[in-house]
Structures are given as structure tokens and as C-alpha cells.
Amino acid sequence: MDLLDLLNQRRSTPARLLGEPGPGPAQLERLLTAALRVPDHGRLVPFRIVTLQGAARARFAEAVAAIHARIDPQAPAAALDKDRSRFGTPPLILCVIARIAAAQAKVPEQEQLLAAGCVAYNLLLGAQALGFGAQWLTGWAAYDREVAALLGLAAHERVVGFVHVGSAREPVPERLRPGLAEVVSDWTPV
């Protein structure tokens, strides 16, 4: 498969459909190494990755559900179960963190954030290239300061997303994609 075939077949596998096996240590190293090859204006490395795997996943899932219950005491049990499942089911979760250097005058914050976003996207593509399914999710936990503290984030860091990786338990159907005419146009001088 060439790279364009991989891109044309890219799709997200819902986290709830991801199971064992996940990437082994050598596959994970390859995946992480490839994910870091992103545009990085100023070589700031405005990103890092926190891995959640093994027993840490279940502990993190329970902690996130407990935070949710504290934030919203009226949260339905189904919502808390969804938190537990989202973080406890896939064999590997890669939390992509943006490290924004606000005082960096040469490289705008947006470019730093986009570099971190490219890391997350490379994780999706790399997981697929290795034969795994993956999904990039945010949800309330990505924006919560208590979850950020749980992950050990500094004040200048924020979650770009949680990339869930594992083996798809069932085929994922293709979804409707926009046609080129809907999103591509030629610039015409005014």
C-alpha cells in the first residue's frame, strides 16, 4: 500500500470497538517515533505524549469518572460508565499534550498547537499503517483542569486529544466524505 492509499483508507475506529491486542513495545516505539516527525517551526517541540496502558488505564478511567461525578453530581450512571469504558477499554491511549510557549514571539501559539495536532494525526495514520484501529477523542476530560492535574500538566500545557489504539473488534464502515467541489476552490483576484 502506498501512502496515498493509506490516506484514502483512513477512518476512525470508535474507542468502544478497540480491544486487544494493542501495539507491542517495538510497535509502540515505531509508532511514537514516526508520530514526532511533524512540522515544527522554530524547533520548539511544542508537544509531548503521555501513555496510558495496562493497569494505569483502569486507574485513570476510575479517576476521570470520579472527577466527572464531583463536577456534576447529577451525572447519569451511563455517563460515568462511558468515561470508564472510553479510558478503560482500548489497550493503549496516547494523550497528546500541547506545550505552548506563549512568550515565543517568532512562532505563533496557533502554529505550536497545530504541530501538536499533527502529532495526534500521525498517531492515527501510524496506528493504521501498523494494522491497528485508532480514534482521536477529546470530550470534556480534555478541557478539564482537574484531569490536566491528574495527567501532570503544567500551566502552559493542554490536552490536544486522547488517541485510543487497539485492534478493531468489527469492521468500521466508511462514512460519507465531502466531494472536492464542496471544499476546494481556486482563488480569483478581485
pLDDT tens digits, residue range 24-57? 999 999 999 999 999 999 999 999 999 999 999 9
Q: What is the pLDDT of residue 190?
A: 87
166, β-bridge pairs: 133
User: Quick one: average pLDDT of 13-19?
Assistant: 95
Q: What is the mean pLDDT of residues 133-154?
A: 97
For residue 60, give every residue at least 6 positions away whose Cβ sits within 8 Å of its Cβ, in sequence order, or none: 52, 87, 93, 150
Question: How confident is the model at residue 16, as a pLDDT?
Answer: 93
The contacts of residue 118 (CB under 8 Å, 6+ apart) are 38, 39
**Taking 80 as the threshold, does the pLDDT of residue 105 lie above it?**
no
* Strand runs labelled E in the chain: 18-19, 47-53, 92-99, 133-137, 157-168
Task: State pLDDT tens for residues 112-123.
Answer: 999 999 999 999
**pLDDT (average), residues 144-173:** 96
pLDDT tens digits, one per residue of 55-102: 999 999 999 999 999 999 999 999 999 999 999 999 999 999 999 998
The per-residue pLDDT for 133 is 97
- Alpha carbon 189 to its chain centroid, in Å, reads 39
More confident residue, 32 or 190: 32
pLDDT at 1 over 80: no
Average pLDDT, the chain: 95
- What is the reported pLDDT for 103? 78
Torsion, Cα 55 61 64 68, to 10 degrees, reads -150
Residue 167 is given by DSSP the state: E
Please give the torsion angle defined by the CA atoms of residues 94, 33, 131 and 173, in that order, rounded to the nearest 10 degrees. Answer: 50
Domains of the chain: 15-170 (3.40.109.10)
Q: What is the pTM of this model?
A: 0.94
